[in-house]
Structure 1
Amino acid sequence: MTTSLRFLGAAGTVTGSRFLIDSDGRRLLVDCGMYQGDAALRRRNWQPFPVEPTSVDAIAVSHAHLDHIGLLPLLSRAGFTGPVYCSEQTARLAAIVLRDAAHLQEEDARYAARHGYSRHDPALPLYTHVDAERCLDLLRPVPFGKPVAVGGDLSVTLSRAGHILGSACVTVTTGVDGTVVFSGDLGRIDHPLLEPPDPPPPADQIVVESTYGDRLHPRADPDRVARVIRAALDRGGTVLVPCFAVDRTEILLVRLREMMAAGMLPRVPVYVDSPMALATLEVYRQAVRDRSPELRPAVLDSARDPFDPGELRLAHGIDESARLNRPGLPCIVLSAAGMATGGRVVHHLIAQLPDPRNLVLLPGYQVPGTRGSRLLSGATAIKAYGRYVPVRAEVLGVGEFSAHADADGILDWLRRSPGEPHTCFVVHGEPAASAALADRVRTDLGWNAVTPHDGERVSVYR
């Protein structure tokens, strides 16, 4: 077997994206993601990497979400010193995301040590800010559409994926053995900020995500969303939105601006309370100023700041954040993390969930086992920082804010391929979602489609 592909993560689960190409003595890793979700998944992050990190020549990452880049600091600490290829915007966002992740893990470890509920003695972070800074030195931004030589016959080319700013599909050319296209996370064609994904290039094998592989996004219903938010504001409550700092915060600000401008919502203060979200917001604003070709013309040509609903307030410090636990007036608070796994939003949930006047709006996919998933499933209490908090606030999931392509969107992207691959590998989804998408690929496109197992190795061939 001259060239092989191994599935080292995101097989049988929706997180931990990691795929290894071995070709003629060269080794390329595509994505280096962290596992998120229940305790069994998170424990995988502490396991030794499946191959010796010093044996990896280079890494190519699709985008700056933790389930695609979150273990880069660990690999770097374990001896990887090669280049990490990514888009320019991914490099900017990765610096924000990984520094924040390291900070939160150090904070959580200190909190666990003080309160004695860690499994480790002493409580340890998965990695530290020193580890994060070390791996950031390895980032090598490359432009979309320009092949980059990895070594030997291996090369990498990035194309737009339209999921978040900087997100990319990764094409790996192996020379005589053929080409593998990795979708990364695909965006929606109706993303309010970003241009849609580029079509896939010719490929011998395609590795495609299936986060929403068994479902369709609900038709956008801003009237329904506005009614629920307005009702909570009218009863004097806080609307708390656990949201991903990267892209989701910006989408929500754009949508809130539209609803307030149309009179669907009253003009109330809208707080962004997350250091990572504030830094990310500045990256998006800079992309608007630079007229990035990733952004839609309507966003670039807006006469006003597209991210300001009119009463935008940025919570920079801990004291400002603490006041938002009980803000004392109707308002909307956007705070990371998107699945309520950590960060300032957990403190807000502890303070606000017991009050039935409040609304918790969950605007995206919730990995099973996360606090967000338990809230969405109707939990009457959730555990946070070693204690149970009663859930009396209204909880609502809103799928139309997702930045992922749904099943139809993924199929449409695959359908734009210039030819049929030998195999379409369906990954990065819960088992039911991956199986459903693989079945549709076989039925609708007539392609050979499989759902690989974790650790499985397959041949790459023309």
Structure 2
Amino acid sequence: MKLGFHGAAGTVTGSKYLVEHRGRRLLVDCGLFQGWKPLRELNWEPLPFAPGEVDAVLLTHAHLDHVGALPLLVRQGFTGPVLVTPATADLCGLLLPDSAHIQEEDAAYANRHHTSRHLPAEPLYTSEDAQRALRHLQPLPLHTATEVIPGVTARFSRAGHILGAASLTLEAEGRTLLFSGDLGRPDDPLMREAEAAPRADWIVVESTYGDRLHPAEDAMAALAGVINRTAARAGTVLVPAFAVGRAQLVLLMVHRLREAGAIPELPVFLDSPMAIDTTALYGRHPGEHRLSPRECAAMCGAAQMVRTAPQSRALSSARFPAVVISASGMATGGRVLHHLAQRLPDRRNTVVLVGYQAGGTRGARLLAGEKTLRIFGQDVPVRAEVASLSGLSAHADADQLLAWLRSSPQAPRRVFVTHGEPAAADALRRRVEHELHWPVTVPLLGRTVELGA
């Protein structure tokens, strides 16, 4: 068996692992590169393997850095099945068309306003491409083994990161290869914890937070503080949030703070059609999260839903105390860019970053304290307060990643550390080596390794 690392190696994004066995090929994840421009440009390059020779795809969860390149794979010749958990299938049905729509809108905006060096600017893929990709999805329930290619079976187990997130075990000829996927936190207030790592001969583990621990801060109190001080200066709290996961957690926290009387009765808006539809999915998958039916309904009713573009434009230009939650979480695209362009120059406002910010993204630039932000070809001054609530991350931290690895019934032959910036991946490598005494490698992008018999 061979394992190729064609994404999420040396970086957090672009997850793609090519597994080859007896002349057949499986692709685990098919994500977009995000962040630094040299990485984003990889999305426009032909895929580093022949899509038509891939027999099947397995997706660990529905975030763009894991599934966002699926329409490209299909457009370039892939014709096989795409196995996903049922919740991931539902989320992909929202995420991929939304991603295509945003890219089409951004290209159209660039052409109208001449903000692109490419004439004409084109989307990475279209809505038609996204719909073609969705026709390949085949739901596979958790803990159900299925033969995906001759001699190789696959099984998903709960990873806890977002709805449908799974770790993946592949078994061939008595040997097992385990992909962690993105692992959630055991103390996440919204999602249930990841299941213990199953026995595996080789483990591919993410390292997004491999070099840090989540702060011990009370995230609810921190969010209340941000909302209260922003409201006191008649400003707006803008929360760029991933439409899948963090947007729902922020809604839940706002509901709980209101119920406790810890924040004023400000209007709250959810300005993301995909986040709106995602929120409704929590009621369809009650076994994956911690909410009671009452709290699930309260979360869904915590905000005024903003669906149409005219409604969003009106909201972005409004000037009154409010909380606005809008995608995307790293400010890489979508409606939140219009809100940022309007809100950042005003000192009364606050932008709250609530998730991981990959290097090179606008979110990372805000986190680093940059004084201007490039949006739609213009340099927008950053005068608003920028707050980071890192305690709201949906990723396991370094201690939690080590605990998940320790939960494996036996030591693997080797661990491959991926899906992290170089410092984070190497920090986790050192801990696996020194604390667990397991063989461990941080693979380079494009490398292929032979997994011994």
User: How far apart in 1 are the matches of 2:13 and 2:403?
Assistant: 23
Gaps of 5+ in 1: none
Q: What amino acid does structure 2 have at the position aligned with 1:460? A: L
**Residue of structure 1 aligned with 2:294, choices 283, 299, 302:** 302
Deviation at 1:301, TM superposition (A): 4.9
Instruction: Give 1:204's aligned residue.
Output: 201
Structure 1 counterpart SS, 2:316: coil
Q: Give the partner amino acid of 1:302.
A: R
Note the alpha carbon deviations across 1:148-177, whole angstroms, 9 max, x for none: 11122111110000000000001111225x
| Deviation for aligned residue 1:234 | 1.2
What is the CA distance between 1:308 and its match in structure 2? 4.8
1:300 maps to a residue whose letter is S
Q: Deviations over 1:401-458 (max 9, x none)?
A: 1111000111110010000001000000000000000101111111111100111111
Specify the code of the residue in structure 1 equivalent to 2:167: C
Is the Cα contact below 8 Å between 1:355 and 1:393 reproduced in 2? yes
Say whether the 8 Å CA contact 1:254–1:309 is kept in structure 2.
no
Alpha-carbon offset, residue 107 of structure 1 = 0.9
CA gap 1:247/1:134 in 2 versus in 1, 3 angstroms: same
Letter in 1 for 2:72: L
Q: Distance in 1 between matches of 2:269 and 2:283?
A: 17
User: How far 1:326 moved relative to its partner?
Assistant: 3.1
Q: Distance in 2 between matches of 1:361 and 1:250?
A: 15
Aligned to 1:455: 446
Tell me the distance in 2 between the aligned counterparts of 1:36 and 1:164: 19
Please tell me whether the aligned partners of residues 147 and 154 of structure 2 are also in contact (alpha carbons under 8 angstroms): yes
Which letter does structure 2 place at the counterpart of 1:394?
E
Instruction: Write the mapping of 1:138-177 to structure 2, written as runs, cut at 5 A.
Output: 138-176=136-174
**Residue type of the partner of 2:214?**
H
Counterpart check, 1:363 vs 2:361: no
Residue 30 of structure 1 is aligned with which of 28, 31, 38?
28
2-structure distance, mates of 1:105, 1:346: 13
Query: Which residue matches 1:181?
Result: 178
1:151 and 1:62 mapped to 2: Cα distance?
A: 18
Distance in structure 2 (CA, Å) of the matches to 1:370 and 1:224: 24
SS at match of 1:325: helix
CA contact under 8 A between 2:280 and 2:300: conserved in structure 1?
no
* Partner of residue 323 from structure 2, selected from 323, 332, 347: 332
Three-state SS of the structure 2 residue aligned to 1:348 is helix
Greater displacement, 452-461 / 334-343: 452-461
Report if the CA contact (8 A) 2:283-2:293 is conserved: no
Q: Distance in 2 between matches of 1:116 and 1:390?
A: 21
SS at match of 1:400: helix
- Unaligned runs of 5+ residues in structure 2 are none
Higher mean C-alpha deviation, range 401-410 or range 147-156: 147-156
Q: Residues 17 and 34 of structure 1 are in contact (CA less than 8 Å); yes or no, is this contact kept in structure 2? A: yes
Q: Which amino acid aligns with 1:201?
A: P
Alpha-carbon separation, structure 2, partners of 1:253 and 1:452: 38
| In structure 2, distance between residues paired with 1:31 and 1:306 | 33
> Residue type of the partner of 1:37?
G
- What is the CA–CA distance in structure 1 between the aligned matches of 2:312 and 2:32, rounded to whole Å? 27
Paired with 2:320 and 2:27, the residues of 1 have a C-alpha distance of 49
Q: Per-residue deviation at 1:304?
A: 6.7
TM-score w.r.t. length of structure 1: 0.96
- Aligned counterpart for 1:111 among listed residues 109, 112, 131: 109
Structure 2 Cα separation of the partners of residues 277 and 447 of structure 1:
40
Give the structure-2-normalised TM-score. Answer: 0.97
1:313 and 2:316 are equivalent in the alignment: no
- Trace 1:63-82 onto structure 2 (pairs within 5 A): 63-82=61-80
Match of 1:47 among 45, 50, 74: 45
SS, match of residue 415 in structure 2? strand
Q: Deviations over 1:318-348 (max 9, x none)?
A: 1221122133321100000001111111001
Local SS of the residue matching 2:26: strand
RMSD: 1.3
Is it true that 1:419 corresponds to 2:410 in the alignment? yes
For 2:73 and 2:428, the matched residues in 1 are separated by 32
Matched, 1:348 2:346: no
Range with greater deviation from structure 2 (220-229 or 153-162):
220-229
Aligned residues: 452
Is the contact made by 2:169 and 2:176 (CA closer than 8 Å) also made in structure 1? yes
Contact preservation (8 Å) 1:257, 1:308: no
Report the CA distance between 1:286 and its aligned residue. 3.0
Post-superposition offset of 1:461: 2.9
Amino acid at match of 2:210: G
Question: Is the Cα–Cα contact under 8 Å of residues 56 and 149 in structure 2 kept in the other structure?
Answer: no
1:214-233 matched pairs, under 5 angstroms: 214-221=211-218, 222-233=220-231
Q: Which residue of 1 aligns with 2:253?
A: 255
**Amino acid corresponding to residue 211 of structure 2 in structure 1:** D
Cα distance in 1 for residues equivalent to 2:344 and 2:288: 38
Aligned-pair CA distance for 1:257: 1.4
| Corresponding residue number in structure 1 for 2:15 | 17
Code of the residue aligned with 2:118 in structure 1: it is H
Question: Is the CA contact (8 Å cut-off) linking 1:241 and 1:361 kept in structure 2?
Answer: yes
User: What is the alpha-carbon distance in structure 1 between the residues aligned to residue 137 and residue 91 of structure 2?
Assistant: 11
Alignment partner of 2:405: what SS?
helix
Measure, in 2, the Cα distance between the counterparts of 1:179 and 1:37: 33
| TM-fit CA distance, 1:40 | 0.8
Which amino acid in 2 is paired with 1:128?
T
Are residues 1:4 and 2:8 paired? no
